[in-house]
Amino acid sequence: MILKIAPHVHIETFGCQMNESDSELIRSMLKREGFVFTEDRERADVVLVNTCAIRENAHKKIYVHLSELKAIKKQRPLVVGILGCMAQNLKSELAEKEPLIDVLAGPDAYRQLPSLLATALNEQEQGLSQKGFALDLSEYETYEGIMPDRNSGVNAWITVMRGCDNFCSFCVVPYTRGRERSRDPESILLEARDASTRGFKQITLLGQNVNSYRHEGWDFAKLIAAVADTPGIDRVRFTSPHPKAFPPALIDAIATHPKICKHIHLPLQAGSDRILELMGRTYTGAEYLALVDRIRSRIPDIVLTTDIICGFCSESEEDFQTTHRIIEQTQLDSAYIFKYSERKHTIAARKYADDVSDRVKGMRVAQLLETQRRITLERNRRYIGKAMQVLVERDATRSSTQAMGKTDGNITVIWEKGTGNFRPGTLITKQIFDASAATLYGK
């Protein structure tokens, strides 16, 4: 790879925490090869868009973004790279319909990015236009040996495993990120120590299904406890587990280790057993309820959150009302609720008709959101009058006179700064005096 100058790169990340973590890896690999990163898109020689393929809204945002880049590319030389899950899932469509794209790279091909971009830059300088595609999935790639280039902050993402073997019928992840493989625990612990020395106070462990983590005698419960023992780290979180075969050892680790946060994001997706079977979720509504009961009996102060899809293929009103009843019954602390959107190449796209109208999907989402807001407000109001430990993160979004942070259960707290000098990463105690469905207010 030969670079005549130090090209300036601007990277924009869409989607989940896994994409955020991947962008940190990409920055590290490119910086080692002489690329320079800039926050200013107008100064960039290369614009990389790290994409998500989970929902339709993510696709729409990225296509709007591509139209902006097309306008810039008409005015000056620019190398455009599309990375991540959308690049992997829609490679043919993107290659054929978007001539502005110079580089396509899937989630397992980031080690090839430096050479792909160098070739694209050199070709552009010579007035040529050679496309660079790297889209093969790997059974082995975990990016061992690459320390992420993290922006400053409180939380460090650490990916502990890549890919997924669940093949839920609605989900594109196994086709965009490949099969499950777990990282060496020693490399994860090395990364945790590095994050601590750089001033990060919280670590979030990432995987598509973290309770499947396995590596030479290590399971996820053993791993998260070891990470939580890292000197200088105050909190450890994780996302996401799968409700199937939820390990009792993981529940015990959360219950007993003071630095493992008392929060579990436990995706339900649907309450109807018929729909769960079509989704390939491998548990029933009753089994989900029993798991919630087991967790709460072991960890009474646990904060439980979930994901729900409304309007999956053939979902009837009765199926939906079953989901609604489970939401009422479980009284979870919050929920991310989405309309079902068909993804190309998934089992559902191949086998089932997307036959619930968009209007009905929207009505069901609105009904669940209304119910969940009420439940969340009731649960948040339980904290009024209590002293809560908060990890300071930054200024509040709406006012620089306020600060915000998160409780151990990942609930947002906002307070007036006053004369206090609270630095990000500091653990402080706030008395909660009010609550909304989204926020606790402290003093």
Q: CATH number for the domain including 359? A: 3.30.750.200
- Residues 339-383: pLDDT tens digits? 999 998 899 999 999 999 999 999 999 999 999 999 999 999 999
| Same domain assignment for residues 12 and 127 | yes
Helix (H) or strand (E) holding 91: helix 91-97
* pTM of the full structure: 0.94
**Containing structural domain, residue 339:** 265-381
What is the rounded distance in angstroms from the CA atom of residue 8 to the CA atom of residue 39?
Answer: 10
| Same domain assignment for residues 160 and 237 | yes
Amino acid (1-letter code) at residue 440? L
| Same domain assignment for residues 225 and 157 | yes
| Same domain assignment for residues 130 and 186 | no
Among residues 231, 261, 291, the one where a domain terminates is: 261
CATH code of the domain covering residue 117: 3.40.50.12160
CATH code of the domain covering residue 426: 2.40.50
Does 140 fall in a domain?
A: no
Dig out the tokens for 362 from the structure: 């929207």
What φ, ψ does residue 272 adopt, rounded to 5°? -75, 130
Among residues 92, 110, 134, the one where a domain terminates is: 134
Does 143 fall in a domain?
A: no
Q: Give long-range contacts, CB 8 A cutoff, 24+ apart: 382-388.
A: 383/411, 383/432, 383/435, 383/440, 384/432, 384/433, 384/434, 384/435, 385/431, 385/432, 385/433, 386/431, 386/432, 387/429, 387/430, 387/431, 387/432, 388/413, 388/429, 388/430, 388/431, 388/432, 388/440, 388/442
- Residues 144-179: pLDDT tens digits? 999 999 988 999 999 999 999 999 999 999 999 999
Per-residue confidence of the chain (443 residues) as pLDDT tens digits? 556 678 999 999 988 899 999 999 999 999 999 999 999 999 999 999 998 877 666 677 777 888 888 888 889 999 999 999 888 888 777 777 667 889 999 999 999 999 999 999 988 877 666 677 877 888 899 999 999 999 889 999 999 999 999 999 999 999 999 999 999 999 999 999 999 999 999 999 999 999 999 999 999 999 999 999 999 999 999 999 999 989 999 999 999 999 999 999 999 999 999 999 999 999 999 999 999 999 999 999 999 999 999 999 999 999 999 999 999 999 999 999 999 999 988 999 999 999 999 999 999 999 999 999 999 999 999 999 999 999 999 999 888 889 999 999 999 999 998 866 678 999 999 999 999 999 999 99
Does 186 fall in a domain?
A: yes
| Same domain assignment for residues 359 and 283 | yes
Among residues 240, 261, 282, the one where a domain terminates is: 261
Does 112 fall in a domain?
A: yes
Does 139 fall in a domain?
A: no
| Same domain assignment for residues 107 and 178 | no
Sort 125 into a burial class: Cβ within 10 Å, 0-12 / 13-18 / 19+: exposed
| Same domain assignment for residues 270 and 254 | no
Does 313 fall in a domain?
A: yes
Query: How many separate domains does the chain show?
Result: 4
| pLDDT of the residue at 135 | 78
Does 145 fall in a domain?
A: no
| Same domain assignment for residues 342 and 294 | yes
| Same domain assignment for residues 432 and 355 | no
| Same domain assignment for residues 256 and 272 | no
Does 293 fall in a domain?
A: yes
| Same domain assignment for residues 14 and 129 | yes
| Same domain assignment for residues 338 and 356 | yes
